[in-house]
Chains A and B, each alone.
Chain A
């Protein structure tokens, strides 16, 4: 992926913020280290990424969030993690650090009541706090407070060997371990100028599509389960388990954790893998259409999903919402296509897009993507090139930087890394798609009844771990 990196003046930095505000570019990420703030943005037509850097005198830089709201939480995190202050930011509350008492936004009006939920939830899910303000049953405002699973990943990455940093990257968000490992590996490979063997690239795509398949299957079941339709959950859970067992047979780990490493793959595909994966494809292709039919023809279920939790195309586009959330609200973006990366440039890939933006639309995008992934896996198995699966990483000689954008099941994962002259990671930054999706959940729930929140939340399925770092 091409990228321009430049140290810019305050004026150019602010002009870049204005271009975001006008929608001429999409915000990819905003991050910092003591003394320097960085911003990655993308041309939505070409997928071309640009990284700007600004020297922060006295630890301050002009706020982008003041011009472009999606940047606000990233700036709050920069203050917590790198001590950088965004001048003029509309929200100066801490975000990932929880030492101080947290002032929630004030809500005023007649007949309002608040419901505080979390961080420990009723189900087996990640921790976060949701503060609902409701008028009767209708949600007037939702404010999320995140950061509970903040593990200090940026600090652990700084100074780590590439091998250790890759192990940590694989555990930023466990459900996207393949995509994260790929994003980190590709950023390192770009920095070091390493050409990954073709077979390794194809195996990465195979693992990534299995990951997408497993997650979409469990999401489809879990969303229906939140509408008390347990049958779908049971059947999708069965299919997901089959996918994980095939992954274990092919890659030696159910979630394929640690399989993608900088330079290629940890190991080649297991000898038994191909028949196992082909049997999996046959099984899912046989069962899945029945489930889709049930979903489509169960009126009591559709009654819950159609028209619930609508996210407008305008907001999805403004926040550059990735993954099924963006594509269910008319944003035709998929990093596999744009900026695109191998081997997807030579694979058949259709990107489903709908405009309704409701829970039903987010389910349908997943259904279509399950079908796409099945096709991709079959094509990869047919055309898998022979050869080695690992390239050696050269010594860098001098510090170098690399970026990558990889499409995980939930959306585009951005990685930036600076490798020092000794070959260790000096700094790394990983941006989960959830950064731009969590705020949209707050918008989508507005006006819905409190009881539909689990349905909306599950249809978004944002990552807490990926966001909290």
Chain B
């Protein structure tokens, strides 16, 4: 194990530079009402509301060494009570709707909802199924849509970074005198 640790130490980091913020995401976020500041860190609660698990695979990848989500102050948390953001995947199945709504209610204000993936954005290939609501917006107010089937880790990261910028921009806009991270 020492050999492996030493090699990792010598070879230099694999982590890649941050991608650009998604302009479309910034534009979408600009239409949302301003909320209280959170500083430059966001706690994310992921909720699978009927995904095929493809989105989860790419959300998982955000934690790997190439994307290293936590360097941006973004982290996944185990409980909605610790979360600022709900990252929701799937077309919102009838069977998950109540659990999703209760997760939202358990998340303290201010909070943001991201619909991640084509299913979450509008039902995707499952649109029109009587067993699905057809997207997150049918159940919750959505602040940001990230398309893709599944969205690549880079696409997810660009959306999340746009949200991070938006959250700190809201601070300036609201004239909040407290420190901006």
Contacts and interface: CB of A to CB of B under 8 A. Distances in A.
A370 interface: no
Nearest to B130: A152
B57 A174 contact: yes
- Chain A interface size band reads 35 or more
Given A150-B93, A175-B53, A175-B54, 4 more contacts: A150-B131, A174-B51, A177-B54, A241-B64
A127 B48 contact: yes
B140 to A, nearest CB: 14
A17 interface: no
Nearest to A149: B50
Contact of A125 (B4, B14, B56): B56
B3 interface: yes
Interface string A163-191: 01001100111110100000000000000
B149 to A, nearest CB: 7
B76 A124 contact: yes
Interface of B: 1, 3-5, 14, 46-61, 63-66, 76, 78-80, 90-91, 93-96, 99, 103, 124-126, 128-132, 149-150, 152
A290 B4 contact: yes
Given A174-B54, A254-B152, A238 B96 contact: no
A151 B54 contact: no
Nearest to B76: A124
A255 B126 contact: no
B132 A152 contact: yes
Interface of A: 98, 119-120, 122-127, 147-153, 155-156, 164, 167-168, 171-175, 177, 218, 231, 234-235, 237-238, 240-241, 244, 254-255, 257, 290-291, 294, 297-298, 463-465, 468
Contact of B61 (A123, A173, A244): A244
Given A127-B96, A238-B14, A255 B60 contact: no
A41 to B, nearest CB: 28
Contacts of A294: 1, 4
13 contacts: A119-B99, A122-B79, A127-B48, A127-B96, A148-B99, A149-B90, A156-B125, A164-B125, A171-B124, A174-B52, A175-B54, A218-B60, A468-B95
Given A120-B99, A125-B48, A167-B125, A151 B53 contact: no
A255 B57 CA distance: 9
Contact of B65 (A152, A175, A238): A238
A177 to B, nearest CB: 7
